[in-house]
């Protein structure tokens, strides 16, 4: 469904991605794990079209999306929950969700109902400014907003960052639920254990390129991964 | 006397507010002080004279004055909006990712260019806007208000209310607010940020055109330099209210008009232009973000 081939992306003068190649197949949950600065977020921003790769190519459903502008990529069905959630702080919860439906993919009213069913707390707070929500609620809002464009592929950047363990597990359960409903998921996580458990396959990014990949459970049992990313 | 000055202050204040909106909206979205904005207002005044002269020449003004004025207004707005749109594309968009100072310098360049362009094509001397209404008006107790003042205030109020409804309730308005808060995220939800920026310039320039035309009618004289002082005052109004805030621009503009008018009649009219800046300094000392502004205003 999504294929990155030898992608090089520069972040200012720094080459953040040095020939990244990976793929995500229809219906999968795939995770990218790696340390800070390994290039995980850059990879997602490159897929979404916010950053332009210097070399290489990206295909989504067989069509090259390299150099395509972000709003067009969203319309093709790739939606992102970025790092730090990036809620529009002064828009209400409801307006944030409406912005998610800006592209007009899918029926906004029924998508809104779906998001409210998934996260009832958002319905309770629909008139509140987005910036006043707690971290966990903001994460739910960010995911809900991304779902409002009825994506085929959902990119999630560090959804568990800064959240209490109980909220994290709720978020991960929700991601599984979203995937069961047919949305393909590409997940970037520092919390490698939870991410690998959830994922069919995983890629390890190191210094801007893929150093290891395999099935989620295989990576969980991999000696190198255990040492470097699971803290054992 | 006092009420009379309040009416005069409201009239000119609502014009400042219309211009200030353009500064504030563009700043809210691009964090750019569009120094060429005052020139758009000046162009609005000139275009008003030109189109009205055309309608007078073909006899429409004598036949149906309101229609001629309305068409003049529409055409001025359309032309100024195209100027605003083009200026953004030519002078600011290529510098979108450049250091902050570059688009600012570019804005000053556009401003100087437009002033000289108008001076060369229209001459350096004052142009007269025909007296259409004379001084007709109505008396209310001790206050005298001309119809033109009433028209200026009402037009401004209608436009500001319309702008607020647009920004609050329409899809494009929400997109504008989203872009002002987080451009990257706005594009991630599918907003074409370039379009939103263009729309912002078009709306801001359209409002400035209305302001220019109304002031030309009010004072009756226009020259190529009027955009400079009006621009600086409207910018002051925007900062006074808290730049980036629509409400702030409106209140800042009206406050400025009132201060000028009252200060001019009760203190000294020779310092009329200075009052605006005295108030600005006081407000910035007490509340650096402006009356309705955000506290964290460290940019530019």
Check pLDDT > 50 for residue B13. yes
Cα of first residue to Cα of last residue in chain B, in angstroms, is: 41
Structural domains of chain B, with CATH = 2-286 (1.10.3470)
Long-range contacts for B268-273 (Cβ within 8 Å, ≥24 apart)?
B273/B229, B273/B233
Shortest CA distance from A50: residue in chain B: B184
Bridge partners (DSSP) of residue A58 are: A4
Shortest CA distance from B181: residue in chain A: A88
Residues of B in contact with A89 (CB under 8 A): 181
CB nearest B178 (choices: A69, A75, A88): A88
Residue range B150-178, pLDDT digits in tens: 999 999 999 999 999 999 999 999 999 99
What CA–CA distance (Å, rounded) separates B247 from B70?
27
The arithmetic mean of pLDDT across residues A125-144, rounded, is: 94
What CA–CA distance (Å, rounded) separates A9 from A56?
9
Q: Return the C-alpha torsion angle B218, B223, B225, B229, nearest 10.
A: -10
Q: For residue B175, give both structure tokens.
A: 């997109």
Q: Which of B241, B247, B196, B210 is nearest to B79 (CA)?
A: B210
What CA–CA distance (Å, rounded) separates A163 from B163?
40
At B294, the pLDDT band (50, 70, 90 cuts) reads low
Q: For residue B6, give both structure tokens.
A: 């309040």
Residues of A in contact with B177 (CB under 8 A): 88, 90-91
Listed in sequence order, the residues at least 6 apart from A41 whose beta carbon sits closer than 8 Å to its beta carbon are A82, A83, A157, A158, A188
Handedness of CA A175, A177, A180, A181 (dihedral sign): negative
Q: For the whole model, what pTM was predicted?
A: 0.91
Listed by number, the residues of chain B in 166-205 with a beta carbon closer than 8 Å to a beta carbon of chain A are 171, 174-175, 177-178, 181-182, 184-193
Is there a contact between A90 and B186 if contact means CB atoms under 8 Å apart? no
Check pLDDT > 60 for residue B297. no
What CA–CA distance (Å, rounded) separates A168 from A158?
10
Q: Which helix (H) or strand (E) holds B10?
A: helix B2-30
Q: Does A80 touch chain B (CB under 8 A)?
A: yes
Residue range A47-71, pLDDT digits in tens: 999 999 999 999 999 999 999 999 9
Residues of A in contact with B181 (CB under 8 A): 88-91
Q: Please give the order of strands across the beta sheet that includes A14-24.
A: A14-24, A2-11, A55-60, A63-64
What CA–CA distance (Å, rounded) separates A141 from A95?
11
What CA–CA distance (Å, rounded) separates B131 from B128?
9
As for the ipTM of the complex, it is 0.92
Q: What 8-state DSSP symbol labels residue B1?
A: -
What CA–CA distance (Å, rounded) separates B156 from B13?
10
Residue range A107-122, pLDDT digits in tens: 999 999 999 999 999 9
Residue range A177-207, pLDDT digits in tens: 999 999 999 999 888 888 999 999 999 998 8
Q: For residue B279, give both structure tokens.
A: 């108030």
What CA–CA distance (Å, rounded) separates B185 from B202?
23
Is there a contact between A75 and B181 if contact means CB atoms under 8 Å apart? no
Bridge partners (DSSP) of residue B222 are: B127
pLDDT on residue B244: 84
Residue range B121-148, pLDDT digits in tens: 999 899 998 887 767 788 877 788 888 9
Q: Which helix (H) or strand (E) holds B285?
A: helix B272-286
Inter-chain contacts counted by CB atoms under 8 A, chains A and B? 63
Is there a contact between A89 and B181 if contact means CB atoms under 8 Å apart? yes
CA A163 remoteness from chain centre: 16
Give the mean pLDDT of chain A: 92
Residue spans of alpha helices (H) in A101-164: 108-118, 120-124, 135-147
Share of chain B above pLDDT 70, in %: 97
Q: 3-class DSSP state for residue B140?
A: strand
């Amino acid at each position: 469904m999504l294929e990155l081939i030898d992608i090089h992306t520069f972040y200012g003068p720094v080459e953040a991605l040095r020939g990244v190649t990976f793929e995500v197949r229809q219906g999968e949950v795939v995770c990218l794990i790696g340390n800070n600065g390994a290039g995980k977020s850059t990879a997602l921003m490159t897929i979404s079209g916010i950053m332009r790769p210097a070399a290489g190519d990206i295909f989504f459903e067989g069509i090259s999306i390299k150099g395509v502008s972000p709003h067009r990529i969203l319309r093709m069905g790739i939606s992102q929950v970025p790092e730090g959630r990036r809620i529009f702080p002064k828009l209400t919860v409801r307006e944030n969700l409406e912005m998610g439906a800006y592209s007009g993919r899918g029926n906004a009213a029924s998508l809104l109902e779906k998001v409210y069913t998934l996260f009832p707390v958002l319905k309770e707070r629909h008139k509140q400014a987005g910036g006043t929500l707690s971290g966990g609620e903001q994460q739910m809002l960010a995911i809900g907003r991304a779902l409002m464009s009825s994506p085929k592929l959902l990119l999630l950047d560090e959804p568990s960052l800064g959240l209490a363990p109980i909220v994290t597990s709720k978020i991960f359960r929700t991601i599984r639920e979203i995937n069961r409903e047919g949305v393909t998921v590409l997940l970037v996580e520092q919390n490698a254990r939870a991410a690998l458990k959830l994922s069919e396959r995983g890629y390890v990014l190191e210094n801007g390129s893929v150093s290891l990949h395999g099935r989620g459970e295989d990576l969980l049992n991999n000696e190198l991964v255990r040492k470097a990313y699971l803290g054992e | 006397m006092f009420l009379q000055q309040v009416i005069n202050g409201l009239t000119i204040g609502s014009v400042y507010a219309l211009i200030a909106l353009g500064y504030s909206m563009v700043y809210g979205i691009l964090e750019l002080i569009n120094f060429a904005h005052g020139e758009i207002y000046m162009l609005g005044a000139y275009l008003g004279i030109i189109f009205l002269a055309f309608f007078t020449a073909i006899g429409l003004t004598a036949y149906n004055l309101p229609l001629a004025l309305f068409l003049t207004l529409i055409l001025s707005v359309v032309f100024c909006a195209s100027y605003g749109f083009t200026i953004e594309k030519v002078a600011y968009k290529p510098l979108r990712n450049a250091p902050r100072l570059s688009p600012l310098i570019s804005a000053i360049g556009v401003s100087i260019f437009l002033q000289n362009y108008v001076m060369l094509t229209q001459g350096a001397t004052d142009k007269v806007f025909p007296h259409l209404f004379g001084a007709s008006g109505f008396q209310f107790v001790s206050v005298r208000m001309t119809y033109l003042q009433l028209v200026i205030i009402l037009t401004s109020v209608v436009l500001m209310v319309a702008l607020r409804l647009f920004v609050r309730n329409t899809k494009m308005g929400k997109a504008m607010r989203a872009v002002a808060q987080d451009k990257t995220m706005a594009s991630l939800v599918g907003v074409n940020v370039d379009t939103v920026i263009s729309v912002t310039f078009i709306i801001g320039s359209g409002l400035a055109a209305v302001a220019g035309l109304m002031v030309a009618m009010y004072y009756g004289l226009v020259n190529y330099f009027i955009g400079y002082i009006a621009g600086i005052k409207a910018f002051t109004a925007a900062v006074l209210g808290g730049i980036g805030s629509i409400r702030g621009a409106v209140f800042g503009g009206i406050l400025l008009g009132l201060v000028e008018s009252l200060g001019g009649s009760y203190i000294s009219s020779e310092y009329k232009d200075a009052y605006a800046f005295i108030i600005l300094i006081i407000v910035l000392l007490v509340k650096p973000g402006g009356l309705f502004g955000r506290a964290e205003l460290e940019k530019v």
